Chain A
Amino acid sequence: MKRLSSILLWPINTSEKLAEYFLFTYRKMLLIFFLLATVFFTWQASHIRPDASFVKMIPAQHPFVENYIRYKDDLAGLGNSIRVVVAAKDGDIFSAEFQSTLKQVTDELFFIPGVDRSALKSIWTPNVRWTEVTEDGFVGGPVIPAKYDGSKESLEWVRTNILRSGQVGILVGNDFRSAMVQVPLFDKDPETGEKLNYKAFSALLETLVRDKYSSDTVSIHITGFAKIVGDLIDGAFEVALFFAIAFVITMVLLYLYSGSVMGTIIPLVCSLAAVIWQLGILNLLGYGIDPYSMLVPFLVFAIAVSHGVQIVNTITLESAINGAEKLPAAKHAFKTIYIPGLTALISDGIGFITLMVIEIQVIQDLAVAASIGVAVIILTNLMLLPLLMSYVGVGRNAIAKAKRGIEKKNSHWHLLSVFATKKGAIVAVLVAIGLAVLGLYGSKGLQIGDLDVGAPELRADSRYNIDNHFITSNYSTSSDVFVVMVSTPEEHCSRYETLALVDRFQFYLRNVSGVQSSISLVDVSERVTAGLNEGSLKWRSVIRNQYVINASLSYVPAGLMNSSCSLLPVIIFLDDHKAETLKAVTVAVDRFAAEYETDEITFNMAAGKAGFEAATNEVIEMAQYEMLIWVYSVVSFLCLLTFRSLRTVVCIIAPLVLTSILCQALMAKLGIGVKVATLPVIALGVGIGVDYGIYIYSKMQTYLQQGHSLPAAYLETLQSTGKSVAFTGLTLAIGVILWTLSPIKFQADMGVLLTFMFIWNMLGALILLPAIACLLHPKEAVIETAD
């Protein structure tokens, strides 16, 4: 072990000497280099672009998504569309004024770039028709009669035609007080080939539709994926404001803590440099910023500040105790902090890298961004910072303040050192075990996936979700859509065998709890067959005669089959998108497929919003344990390398495990599911949380080696670094606690959980670590008896 670790740690140990030599020999040259690099990265960072793509948020390797991508072009009509509802505030839709607004909104949407104009639908578009069977056959026409003039009679015709068109609950609200425009979108503009710009599109909807037509009598409600993404991008940038606030608060706290102007400004500048470098490198590597990686700069800043504090603290103490000059003090600080700092940052970085096991692009991007961030901190805060401090020093005030602190010697830290004595340790460990049991019990209710209705990315009271609620409560189609793609050989999708099997499938689905209804080509065939037989319900079935079937499918609405007739999507509407519901559906589909699938007819999951959520949930459910195992193994291994003692590893890791358990219980309690946004939190929490343990234990080890008893060594540790550890916890918490104010729900969730983890990890390191150390009697603690 010893040899292995010395081999593995060789680069770190050697790099320390090397770095020290270079750093303090070529100070000016390096300063210029850092300056130029920062200028360059600032320029790069200023070009970083927002990047919210749908495919990145879903697990691309999952078979569901692979199936979707295979059939994507055929599913076009199903995919991306928005729904715009024009609602009358008082009265109903049968007024000339309302109809004129509806017409204008329809026209307005028609001309917005990115809209699939041929498929746009409202009662004002000619593709929405009514039909009726008479003794002479079918009659029909557009819902708005050709002679419409806004008069009472013509409005009465509109009412009759709407009833005959069967659009109540689809294009017209169930209460006749609102009407919908369905707006299918092109992902890529067929003329220019350009990708849809969600931000611009969403902004156009606001200015050209919502702002223009909202009035005292009419309200506008908009839902759809494009709108969610637009709102997400807008919301994500509000977070930038929080960054400014966090910066100011950190500055004030830093000054209060260090009492040094330079000791405040330099760490802030270096940490800011870290953020700029990180963003610059991301842009250089071709990454953009999405609503998830948006949060990484906060983390990087907070981590950077916390390491900066350690260095400033060491310089101050060195100057205060040994009266060292600026340069030697900085050198000493570098020497003291470099190895634990590097170990801590490497474990942070590797902790983040373990997120790569989750095959969802946004999480992987987040992992990359965060890892780059901590790598950059090694340069900016472990190297640049002592370099700068060697010029400016911490200042006399700070040194004087530190001296006073040392002389006092007293302090409340005594209270904490109780936990390094046997009695206190037993109590602390028992309480911890109790908490762990409670936590395990409490985390039983932890669910996978998103639990809230509507768009879970946004807050329940966001305008989007209010709009969504309006639409789901006034229209008959749910927004939680799960699509099963039934595939057949070409030209077989409308064969009797296929339709009869899909008919049975849809009937079978009705038994699945959470399934509201489903539609497919089968419904078209059945309804039209009944229609061709004078509307008689007794004919609402798939008829065995292929000619009858073909006649019934002479007009098929877009999206229910592909052009080569080898794909037949079954669109399933769900009550909600809870993990349980999605699971029930996937299990049911699998079971049906296992029993009825033939060589020719296969049932492939899954497209639709709920389909992707099901895929995401499956990936997350599997990845959550895999990720935990990885992050804990890696961090434990690093600790083992550094401290070469299994007991020490237990001392450092056990508090983190407790925090992870409690965090899961908290998630269960707050109704936050394990999802794309919250899964990284554990890895981030553990990765960063281990820093505290490493700093405290390495300091304590020094004192133990000097011959102190465990409680004494611990008290010394607290007096020298306890304050900075507590301060670190605080700065980290400040960095993330503001996220809870984000308009984006998952950012808020991440904020709550990270704050919780940072603070508990800190408490764990301050209380539980010495307690476990005391009980486990690692070799150093034996000295206690000899004392």
Chain B
Amino acid sequence: MSNITFSYSVIFGCLLTLSQWIWADRLFQPAIEQAAPERSLLLAISRAGDRLVAAGEQGVIIYSDDEALTWQQARVPSSTLLTAVHFFGKQTGWAVGHDGVVLHTQDGGQSWVMQLDGAKVNQLRVDAVTAELQYQRSLETVDPERLENLGYQLDDAKAALDGVPSTPLLDLFFVDAQTGYAVGAYGLFLVTHDGGQHWRYKGQILPNPDSLHLNRIIKTKQGRLLILGEAGLLMQSEDKGENWQAIDLPYQGSFFSTVEADDGLYLMGLRGTVLKRSVDNEGVTVWDYVDSGLTATINDSVIIGHHAYLVGQGGALLKKQGDSFEPFLQRGLRSYSAVESVGHYLVVVGEGGVSRIDVSGGAGK
């Protein structure tokens, strides 16, 4: 073998190994096209105009233009478990998932590009915590506890750099086409102000010293941002996410979803726990337990007209009737993760894929 051929084959071999290394990772493997992608494990569903877009295991994103009757699978450059999807308008949307992946679409969910992956998230986190630490140190009155905590966070962040690409992202929310937030495990909190072109790690500004999981981020009708987390964690921001306050709650379990009905805000926690926010006679916000009659976690809700519908673990399906929650139709066999509405149908996703439930009575696929 001549030297040239030899060196070519060495170079080619290296390239091959490199490409195999990259392509062998699920983060960069395109999602496998499925014959029936709507039967995959799906965790999230969102409206993009009249279109429904759902996302779930192995990078599966599907969309439907006929009220959830038929579905097409989108082209997705990653194969990780996607946990949330959110659209702003008809065309522009984002999805997040495990390994710190953030995906973006500009064609209503048909094709997606990767905006961020876990390795970059790790770097963002180191940068952000380092900067915060420097800033805190430069202050005149140093808070030693805060410094210590940031020191631990930096150690963790640096350790993660050599390790695996990031922990899972669990939810996201865009207040407009430019400003969006993504939350995830171990206090992961990302913010963008340019539609996802650039993301910044902001976990260090949250009142979350124990790095608890952040399960959900929502915007209330009054324009506040709320982050729901593990172990009774609830944080609120009134200035588009610049500053956050923790709110004390009487329940120390995890929260997964909210319903903002006509009569107030409800927090949905582990094992059917429901807290209702109201303001008492003296103008103080109080949180009261509401009996959901359920021992399953509520994962998501949707409001159709004046009725809220809730879905959850073990096929739980509830309808809010006045002050109480009533089981709606028959309980499913598999867990539900998220719900959207189209016409008079609930479109529920979860284990086993998409279910389409007629809220005017009768259930069907």
Contacts and interface: CB of A to CB of B under 8 A. Distances in A.
A287 interface: no
A538 B83 contact: yes
A33 B35 CA distance: 73
Contact of B43 (A134, A500, A538): A538
Contact of A534 (B43, B57, B164, B254): B254
A500 B164 CA distance: 13
A168 B332 CA distance: 13
Interface stretch (A97-105, A188-196, A507-515): A507-515
B79 interface: yes
B168 A541 contact: yes
Interface stretch (B26-34, B127-135, B191-199, B286-294): B26-34
B46 interface: no
Interface string A528-563: 000001111111110111000000000000000000
Contacts of B236: none
Given A135-B252, A538-B83, A540-B41, A533 B213 contact: yes
B69 to A, nearest CB: 21
B297 interface: yes
Nearest to A509: B32
Interface in A463-520: 496-497, 500-501, 503-504, 507-508, 510-511, 513
B317 to A, nearest CB: 15
B26 A500 contact: yes
B9 to A, nearest CB: 18
Interface in B148-183: 163-165, 168, 170
A534 B170 contact: no
Given A135-B271, A511-B34, A537 B79 contact: no
A541 B80 contact: yes
Contacts of A496: 164
Given A533-B213, A537-B337, A539-B168, A504 B79 contact: yes
B64 interface: no
B275 to A, nearest CB: 14
B164 to A, nearest CB: 4
Interface string A321-352: 00000000000000000000000000000000
Nearest to B335: A537
Interface string A580-604: 0000000000000000101000000
Contacts of B299: 536-537
Interface in B209-224: 213, 215
Contact of A537 (B40, B213, B271, B350): B350
A134 B273 CA distance: 11
Contacts, number: 81
B34 A536 contact: no
Give the size category of B's interface with A: 35 or more
Contacts of B335: 537
A535 B33 CA distance: 28
A265 interface: no
Contacts of B351: 537
Given A507-B58, A536-B256, A537-B337, A544 B170 contact: no
Given A536-B256, A537-B41, A544 B164 contact: yes
Contacts of A513: 35
Contact of B215 (A510, A536, A543): A536
A535 B297 contact: yes
A133 interface: yes
B81 A134 contact: no
B270 A507 contact: no
Contacts of B297: 534-536
A462 B213 CA distance: 57
A541 B35 contact: no
A691 B255 CA distance: 84
A352 to B, nearest CB: 46
B270 A534 contact: yes
B215 A507 contact: no
Contacts of B252: 135
A539 B270 CA distance: 15
Contacts of A497: 24
Contacts of B32: 504, 507-508, 511
Interface in A246-268: none
A397 B3 CA distance: 98
Interface string B6-35: 000000000000000000111001001111
Contacts of A544: 99, 164-165
B202 interface: no
B327 interface: no
B241 interface: no
Interface string B105-118: 00000000000000
Contacts of A541: 57, 80-81, 98, 168
A187 B31 CA distance: 43
A598 to B, nearest CB: 8
Given A511-B34, A535-B313, A541-B80, A134 B99 contact: no
B35 A511 contact: yes
Contacts of B207: none
A333 B170 CA distance: 94
Nearest to A500: B26
Interface string B281-315: 00000000000000001010000000000000100
Nearest to B25: A500
Contacts of A500: 25-26
Contacts of A507: 32, 34, 40, 57-58
Contacts of A536: 215, 256, 297, 299
Contacts of A503: 26, 58
A720 B215 CA distance: 96
B188 to A, nearest CB: 13
Contact of B58 (A168, A504, A539, A545): A504
Contacts of A540: 41, 57, 81
Contacts of A168: 333
| Residue among B26, B35, B80 with the highest chain A CB neighbour number at 10 A | B26
A498 to B, nearest CB: 12
B337 A538 contact: yes
Nearest to A546: B164
A539 B99 CA distance: 12
B101 to A, nearest CB: 12
Contacts of A537: 41, 43, 299, 313, 335, 337, 350-351
B59 to A, nearest CB: 9
A177 B325 CA distance: 31
A523 B170 CA distance: 20
A613 B99 CA distance: 40
Interface in B257-287: 270-271
A504 B41 contact: no
B357 to A, nearest CB: 18
A536 B296 CA distance: 11
Contacts of B333: 168
Interface of B: 24-26, 29, 32-36, 39-41, 43, 57-58, 79-81, 83, 98-99, 163-165, 168, 170, 213, 215, 230, 252-254, 256, 270-271, 297, 299, 313, 333, 335, 337, 350-351
For the complex of A and B, the 10 pairs showing the least CB-CB separation, nearest first, are: A544-B164, A541-B81, A135-B253, A538-B83, A507-B58, A537-B337, A541-B98, A511-B35, A500-B26, A508-B32
Given A503-B26, A598-B24, 11 more contacts: A133-B271, A507-B40, A511-B34, A534-B297, A535-B297, A535-B313, A538-B215, A540-B41, A540-B57, A541-B81, A596-B24
Interface of A: 133-135, 168, 496-497, 500-501, 503-504, 507-508, 510-511, 513, 533-541, 543-545, 596, 598
28 contacts: A133-B271, A134-B270, A135-B252, A135-B253, A135-B270, A496-B164, A500-B26, A501-B24, A503-B26, A507-B57, A508-B32, A510-B34, A510-B35, A510-B36, A510-B39, A510-B40, A511-B32, A513-B35, A536-B299, A537-B313, A537-B335, A538-B43, A538-B170, A540-B41, A540-B81, A541-B81, A541-B98, A544-B99
